Amino acid sequence: MKRHLSFVFLLICALQLSALAQKTVLDPQALLRDVQVLSADSMAGRLSGTEGNRMAQEYIEKRFSEIGLQPYNNSYRHTFRLESRGVVVEEAVNLIGFIPGKTDKAIVLTAHYDHVGERKGEIYNGADDNASGVGALLAAAAYFKKNKPYYTLIFAALDGEELGLQGANAFLENPPIALDLIQLNVNMDMLSLNEKGELYASGAYHYPALLPLLQQVKPRPQARLLTGHDRPEQGKNDWTRQSDHYQFHKRQIPFIYFGVEDHPHYHKPTDIYENINPTFYPDAAALVIDFVQLLNKKRPSLRATDSVTES
Ligand SMILES: [Zn+2]
């Protein structure tokens, strides 16, 4: 009898553990390590065309390979000539890998890995902007590698965002799949720092079919999802044009952009690993994964019915 009771006790423990395991969608330590590596002084702010940027490419390539993403045409590297704002980079590089779903219809997850480099001898490490987005991109890749998605998921670490959304433009000019297969762009840019525990999902104003889904994303202990920052009357608080997702929006491809409100470290040398929030950030990244998982379950029709109004 005693043995029987302890068996029941163990069974209950096991069930509780499995409930916990279901909620854990990422490894916080791996997430934080990715940000720490990408925002290290050795990468010198990852400006497009520099040695530090090249080191970041190699790190992301290694992580794509470890996670087991599939390349298109045997390589994660998609090179392009970048010419913008008086800067020319002969070989800028997007890193692209994918996880096949049960359909060819795809969701493109993006995060730019470049930043602004060095100015007046000071390194702009870009831990929040946007090592944090790349960390979340890698965490989502690791999650969906183990949890087969309905949609084909394309993971793109983009170059040249800081020079005018150039990597996203190159991706769409020379896409790995037909553009009309892309249902949605999920862009991540600055996810690791907010004192109120708030992560914004921006874009549902333009693509209202996504609003109910965003509202179903349950809060996590340290981070909750809000919607907004996407209305033209909000002026500079309208984020529609402010990161890579705008290149998708311009081409009538729906987007949701995940990010935090501006903070004192934005585009400052103090945007360093030590200043990100190590409890908010993993939960913020998990909210993005929760949203993509909901998309895979609910499969809203996004492209047939939506008309886009230029903001
Ligand atoms: Zn950024």
How close is the Cα of 300 to the center of ligand 1, in Å? 28
Contacts of 267 (CB under 8 A, 6+ apart): 116, 124, 129
| pTM, rounded to two decimals | 0.92
How close is the Cα of 269 to the center of ligand 1, in Å? 14
Work out the pLDDT band at 304, boundaries 50, 70, 90. low
How close is the Cα of 155 to the center of ligand 1, in Å? 17
Nearest CA among 207, 182, 174, 210 for reference residue 105: 182
pLDDT the model gives residue 308 = 45
How close is the Cα of 37 to the center of ligand 1, in Å? 17
How close is the Cα of 70 to the center of ligand 1, in Å? 26
How close is the Cα of 280 to the center of ligand 1, in Å? 18
Query: What is the tens place of the pLDDT at every residue in 214-254?
Result: 999 999 999 999 999 999 999 999 999 999 999 999 999 99
pLDDT the model gives residue 23 = 75
Give the DSSP per-residue string, 34-94: HHHHHTSGGGTT--TTSHHHHHHHHHHHHHHHHHTPBPBTTBSEEEEEEEETTEEEEEEEE
For the residues 201-206, what does the mean pLDDT come to? 98
Q: Where are the domains of the chain?
A: 26-298
How close is the Cα of 17 to the center of ligand 1, in Å? 37
Query: What is the tens place of the pLDDT at every residue in 76-117?
Result: 999 999 999 999 999 999 999 999 999 999 999 999 999 999
How close is the Cα of 189 to the center of ligand 1, in Å? 5
User: For 2-11, 18-27, 147-156, which range has the lowest pLDDT when averaged over its residues?
Assistant: 2-11
- Domain 26-298 in CATH 3.40.630.10? The answer is yes
CB 94 within 8 A of CB 170: yes
How close is the Cα of 242 to the center of ligand 1, in Å? 8
| Structure token pair of residue 297 | 């379950």
How close is the Cα of 10 to the center of ligand 1, in Å? 47
How close is the Cα of 240 to the center of ligand 1, in Å? 13
CB 173 within 8 A of CB 227: no
How close is the Cα of 102 to the center of ligand 1, in Å? 32
Average pLDDT, the chain: 93
How close is the Cα of 14 to the center of ligand 1, in Å? 42
pLDDT the model gives residue 22 = 45
DSSP 300: -
